[in-house]
Structure 1
Amino acid sequence: MLTRSTIDRVVAAALEEDAPWGDITSEALIPADAVATADLVAREAGVFSGAEVFAAAFRLVDARVQVSDLLADGAAFAAGDVLARVSGPARAVLTGERVGLNFVQRMSGIATLTAAYVAEVAHTRARIVDTRKTTPGLRAFERHAVRSGGGHNHRFSLSDAVMAKDNHLAVLTASGAWVTDALTEAIARLPHTTHVEVEVDRLDQIDEVLAAGIDTIMLDNFSLADLAQGVERVAGRAIVDASGGVDLSTVRAIAETGVDVISVGALTHAARGLDLGLDLAVHIPDPA
């Protein structure tokens, strides 16, 4: 969940990075009493995400800045739509502009791409989920954006669930232990509430992994034919997660094999920022 404290911490760091000693351009050129009104306008269609983040970029610069008429996260919009209105001291609006836009463009880009994936699999039972392939420091923002687009989140961090990949299994069985026994012994040491997922890359690995009583099995880089066989072999004994080779041209066919989950790293590592702009008007009071 994206909390107010997380938003303020990350946005404050971004503002510090962008204006470590203040916005010397606005302070030099803009009268202190100038007031600005600006509209956040979509230059292209998409799905919105980052409303609270966008507002925080201005609130943390100057509490007098007001952000109103904010579109709700998850709402679709067309090119030309006004997504929010910002009003307050012109210097503060100009100082927060770039940081606010950077976040909302990035988050809306992720939400828009996620929505495209979700639409491709809407006729199936498959759920689209993200991965840990996120921008360092921005995982909470980017994963919120995935949810805005109708997707779901995989484990948030290495601390949240067990996910044994090929390298983990190689180390686990280096002594010659049978995979089933090694997994069973490892699971026995875990709290009963811990979810366990194991990655396989061949059909003949499925049975020995499932025999350990895991919760989810990831079929990694399987062909469509092998995915269908894998789903049949699992036969409801675990959640089936498909990964690898997933893009908008392949996701529908992958979903139609009957998998439960499709992990898509591209949702966060390959999304482009949407073209959103801040159209600004400034009012300078007449001298008394």
Structure 2
Amino acid sequence: MLTTTQIDTVVAAALLEDAPWGDLTGQVFLPADATATAQLTAREAGVLSGIDVFAAAFRLTDTAVEVTGHVADGERFAAGDVLATVVGPARAVVQAERIALNFTQRMTGIATLTRKFVDAVEGTGVRITDTRKTTPGLRAIERHAVRSGGGVNHRFSLSDAVMAKDNHLAILQQQGLDLTESIRHARAQLGHTTRLEVEVDRIDQIEPVIAGGVDIIMLDNFSLADLARGVEIVAGRAIVEASGTVTLDTVADIARTGVDVISSGALTHSVRNLDLGLDSTLAAAN
């Protein structure tokens, strides 16, 4: 869940960066008592994410601003659709506009791309998940956007689960340590609710990893043929995750190999912000 505290923390920091001493333009050009109405309008089709983040930008600028959402997170919309309406003091509306749009355009871009991945594997039972390749400080909102698009989240942080990657395995090898025994040793130190995942990049690593008692095995940058073979070797003894250069062009073929989960860093690190606009109309002063 994306909490109010998480939202307010990142939005407040962005507002402070954008207007550390207030909005000088608004102060000298706009009457203090002017009000404005603005509509958040889609300039292209997509899947919405971040309506609460959008509203927070205005709320934290001036509590007198009212935001009414017309589309919920996770809902599809068409070009030209009005997604939300903003009404309030004109100075606050124009001051918060860019930060509100920056967050919502990015989150909606992530949700829209994620939905394309999810749609591509529909009917296979495969889950699409993100990675830790997120913008520093924005992981919570970017991960929320993945969920808005129908994806699921990988571990949120290094503190949430054990995931031994290639560098971990290389260090074990340098130390002359047995892979299977190392996994068993790690497992013995964990509580019963903590999952253990190991990444492999070769077929011959699968059996030693499974023998160690992992919950999840990641097949990294495997060919389609090797993914299918890997699924056969695992034979249901662990969840099988595929990762590495996953694209919209390849994700359906990867899903058909029989893996359980496909993770893609592209959902957050290579996304294009969706084109949304906020057009304001000043009302006459009282």
Q: TM-score per shorter chain, which class? A: over 0.9
- CA distance in 1: counterparts of 2:134 and 2:27, whole angstroms: 35
Matched, 1:157 2:164: no
Deviation of residue 177 (structure 1)? Answer: 2.0
Deviation of residue 182 (structure 1)? Answer: 1.3
SS at match of 1:40: strand
Where does 1:1-288 land on structure 2 (aligned, <5 Å)?
1-285=1-285
Deviation of residue 71 (structure 1)? Answer: 1.4
For 2:7, the aligned partner's letter is: I
C-alpha offsets along residues 134-170 of structure 1, whole Å, 9 cap, x if unaligned?
Answer: 0000000000000000000000000000000011012
Deviation of residue 282 (structure 1)? Answer: 0.3
RMSD: 0.8
Q: Tell me, yes or no, if the aligned pair for 2:220 and 2:243 is still in contact at 8 Å.
A: yes
C-alpha offsets along residues 4-63 of structure 1, whole Å, 9 cap, x if unaligned?
Answer: 011011100000000000000000000000010000000000000001000000000000
Q: Tell me, yes or no, if the aligned pair for 2:172 and 2:178 is still in contact at 8 Å.
A: no
SS at match of 1:93: helix
Q: Tell me, yes or no, if the aligned pair for 1:173 and 1:182 is still in contact at 8 Å.
A: no
SS at match of 2:199: strand
Deviation of residue 68 (structure 1)? Answer: 0.8
Deviation of residue 284 (structure 1)? Answer: 2.2
How many residues end up aligned between the 2 structures?
286
Deviation of residue 121 (structure 1)? Answer: 0.2
Q: Tell me, yes or no, if the aligned pair for 1:125 and 1:258 is still in contact at 8 Å.
A: no
For 2:88, the aligned partner's letter is: G
More displaced stretch, 24-33 vs 174-183: 174-183
Q: Tell me, yes or no, if the aligned pair for 2:11 and 2:56 is still in contact at 8 Å.
A: yes
SS at match of 1:60: helix
TM-score (norm 2): 0.99
- CA distance in 2: counterparts of 1:226 and 1:220, whole angstroms: 10
What percent identity do the matched residue pairs reach?
68
- CA distance in 2: counterparts of 1:230 and 1:273, whole angstroms: 36
Structure 1 residue runs without a partner (length 5+): none
- CA distance in 2: counterparts of 1:231 and 1:16, whole angstroms: 50
- CA distance in 1: counterparts of 2:125 and 2:76, whole angstroms: 23
SS at match of 1:37: strand
Q: Tell me, yes or no, if the aligned pair for 2:2 and 2:144 is still in contact at 8 Å.
A: yes
SS at match of 2:49: coil
- CA distance in 2: counterparts of 1:189 and 1:6, whole angstroms: 31
- CA distance in 2: counterparts of 1:147 and 1:189, whole angstroms: 31
Q: Tell me, yes or no, if the aligned pair for 2:128 and 2:261 is still in contact at 8 Å.
A: yes
Deviation of residue 205 (structure 1)? Answer: 0.6
Structure 2 residue runs without a partner (length 5+): none
SS at match of 2:25: helix
For 1:61, the aligned partner's letter is: T
For 1:260, the aligned partner's letter is: D
